[in-house]
Structure 1
Amino acid sequence: MSTYTVPPRTGHPTLLYSTLALDLDNLQADIAVLGMPYGSPYSAADFSNDQTNAPTAIRQATDRVVRRPGHYDFDIDGPLLQGREDIRFVDCGDIIPDLSKPRGEHYERAETAVRRIAAAGAVPIVLGGDHGITTPILRGLDQKGPITLVHIDAHLDWRDDVNGVRDGLSSPIRRASEMAHVDRIIQIGLRAQGSGRPEEMEAARAYGAELVTAYELHDIGMDAVLERIPDGGNYYLTIDADGMDPTIMPAVAGPAPGGVTFLQARKLIHGLVRKGRVVGMDIVEIQPEKDLNQITCITAGRLILNLIGASIRAGHYDK
């Protein structure tokens, strides 16, 4: 058996009562959770920042997200797996780096793990970690192109490098723009200040990224934003927790008022499922020590639940 990951550390062994599945070379799955606690650090402090605890914290919110997986859920008009006993929902554990080799090696392992998950026909749902983790995950989905990248974030994330590091948390959208299988980019919830100097704005606009500030979103509504996303596509959804409003996701490093609401994010997820196929999703940048009554991790879990339930209802896993 080839093993790329390790089991979750404590408490709930998996997310949302899924089955633990560590043998990615012989994976049988339709939906596969993957934890990636570490990105590509800018400094020594990043080895132990609180975001590395987020995959465990999100899993530990399982019984607050879903009390019983067979119970009816109004978000998805049925139970989590819609009563489908044939749906194979697994948790593949966490990608853990050798901290003596902080850059490169575990990104390669994460990319390989995602390729294994995709080759099994499963959709990866990745728990970060900082936003740097989106880069290797997207690289591992190169057979799913052309991909429309849908990005919820307060920040632009188009930095070319920080401290010489080109695949860290401020650069995932810049790196995505360089991938041949990423076609269109739409960024939603931009506001306040951070990782968006004038030169990054110029680069994003030159590429043709669709930039939707939080203020425009609130003015025009998510339905209007969905109309800008091409129908019939393959979509990858990356959600930075600080893109959501801090009233519902407070456990972030840089909270900014006026973010994406839960109802807007839910509408986006259901809209993407109806328009085409979501080929992957990640949630990043949660700092559990700053959470209040687990609300950030519960919200993350509810967004994942909506993707799973809505995709099954849409027939995406019909054999």
Structure 2
Amino acid sequence: MPKDIPWINKNFLALPDTDSNLDVASAVVLPVPYDSTESSIVGARNGPSAIIQSSSELEDYDLELDVDISNIGIYTSPYLEPHMGSPELMTQRVQLAVEYYLGMGKLVGVLGGEHSVSIGSALAHQKYYPDATVVYLDAHADLRNEYMGTKWGHASGARRIHEQGNIVIVGVRSLCYEEKLYIDSNDLTCVFWPPEDPKYVDSIVDSLSEHVYLSVDLDVFDPSIMSAVGNPEPGGMHWHDVTNLIKHIADKREIVGFDVSELSPDQGPPSCSYTASKLVYKILAYACRNKI
């Protein structure tokens, strides 16, 4: 394209080609517009496009870290086509796509879509980093063995991930009795919200392996700041609760990948899409600041 004409690039942060080319990028944003197992309010399929669109309003410079995160290079992948017939095959599709970029040495951030997209992405990272701990932020435990006829839906994500490796669940304030029994019988680390331990951040970080994968369902936030989700739950985490935890993880461990999911943009004000974009931005900044 002619360089003397001002184009708006529809990628994350609306970056110019020099900062968003796959060859030079340290990070990849992978949009997955999938919500076929959603059981309450549908619309998460529109989340990736809303996050990317809102990201164009973000400043590249991060005041907290004193870095310009565009300098890491962020490539926005083509949207992954959903598999409409099988949640299990969709999981495999996500896993293959993430493995493709991991094989290039990229940090991969998946944009859902419903939270089941985390399964394939986490499995890919557990394959590349066998010691990895998944930090799973969610208002719900997602530990059902099966829900609505599938073991690969959004209500079973943490269970499928735990079957393959280490997981720490944070922010839970709604679960069924089956999930409570699973937590107790497996001695699973699950930080219910609000936490009883005032030093819960240090306790979480101390329990983690060197490599950490972050999985964030946006309903972990209180609906007062994030109402545009499929399953809102009152009494949740606030902005600095989440970012402070992620920052402390990045200070002591290596964040090797992440997903952010469950934004249903039509269910809330535009500020929700902006907040989701800002969260993706902050995770990238924390994870990649040493590469800038």
Q: 1:19 to 1:52 in 2, by over 3 A?
A: farther
Matched, 1:186 2:171: no
> What is the TM-score of this pair, normalised by structure 1?
0.80
User: Cα offset for 1:153?
Assistant: 1.0
Match of 1:151 in 2: 136
Matched, 1:114 2:103: no
Q: Could you list the runs of 4 or more consecutive aligned residues of structure 1 that deviate by over 6 angstroms after TM superposition? A: none
RMSD: 2.6
Q: Describe the SS at the equivalent of 2:62.
A: coil
Which of 57, 78, 88 matches 2:50? Answer: 57
Amino acid at match of 1:261: H
User: Cα offset for 1:59?
Assistant: 0.8
User: Cα offset for 1:212?
Assistant: 0.9
Deviations 1:270-306 (A, max 9, x none): 11111111111111111110121x2222112222222
Match of 1:256 in 2: 233
Match of 1:298 in 2: 274
The separation in 2 between residues aligned to 1:126 and 1:118, in whole angstroms, is 12
Q: 1:75 to 1:299 in 2, by over 3 A?
A: farther
Match of 2:69 in 1: 80
Instruction: Structure 2: state its 5+ residue gaps.
Output: 1-7
The separation in 2 between residues aligned to 1:274 and 1:89, in whole angstroms, is 21
Question: 1:87-126 to 2 correspondence within 5 Å?
Answer: 87-99=72-84, 101-126=85-110
Q: 1:27 to 1:167 in 2, by over 3 A?
A: farther
**Residues 19, 91 of structure 1: 8 Å contact kept:** no
Match of 1:223 in 2: 201
Question: 1:261-300 to 2 correspondence within 5 Å?
Answer: 261-292=238-269, 294-300=270-276
Matched, 1:168 2:146: no
Instruction: Structure 1: state its 5+ residue gaps.
Output: 1-10, 21-25
The separation in 2 between residues aligned to 1:19 and 1:238, in whole angstroms, is 28
**Residues 225, 272 of structure 2: 8 Å contact kept:** yes
The separation in 1 between residues aligned to 2:205 and 2:49, in whole angstroms, is 36
Match of 1:5 in 2: none
Q: Describe the SS at the equivalent of 1:61.
A: helix
Equivalent residues, number: 282
Match of 1:7 in 2: none
User: Cα offset for 1:40?
Assistant: 5.1
**Residues 25, 75 of structure 2: 8 Å contact kept:** yes
Which of 196, 217, 224 matches 1:240? Answer: 217
Q: 1:116 to 1:224 in 2, by over 3 A?
A: same
Match of 2:4 in 1: none
Amino acid at match of 2:212: Y
The separation in 1 between residues aligned to 2:64 and 2:278, in whole angstroms, is 9
User: Cα offset for 1:78?
Assistant: 2.7
**Residues 39, 168 of structure 1: 8 Å contact kept:** no
Q: 1:305 to 1:268 in 2, by over 3 A?
A: same
Match of 1:197 in 2: 176
Match of 2:30 in 1: 34
Q: 1:19 to 1:164 in 2, by over 3 A?
A: farther
Match of 1:16 in 2: 13
User: Cα offset for 1:130?
Assistant: 0.7
**Residues 40, 102 of structure 1: 8 Å contact kept:** no
The separation in 2 between residues aligned to 1:309 and 1:215, in whole angstroms, is 27
User: Cα offset for 1:173?
Assistant: 0.5
User: Cα offset for 1:122?
Assistant: 0.7
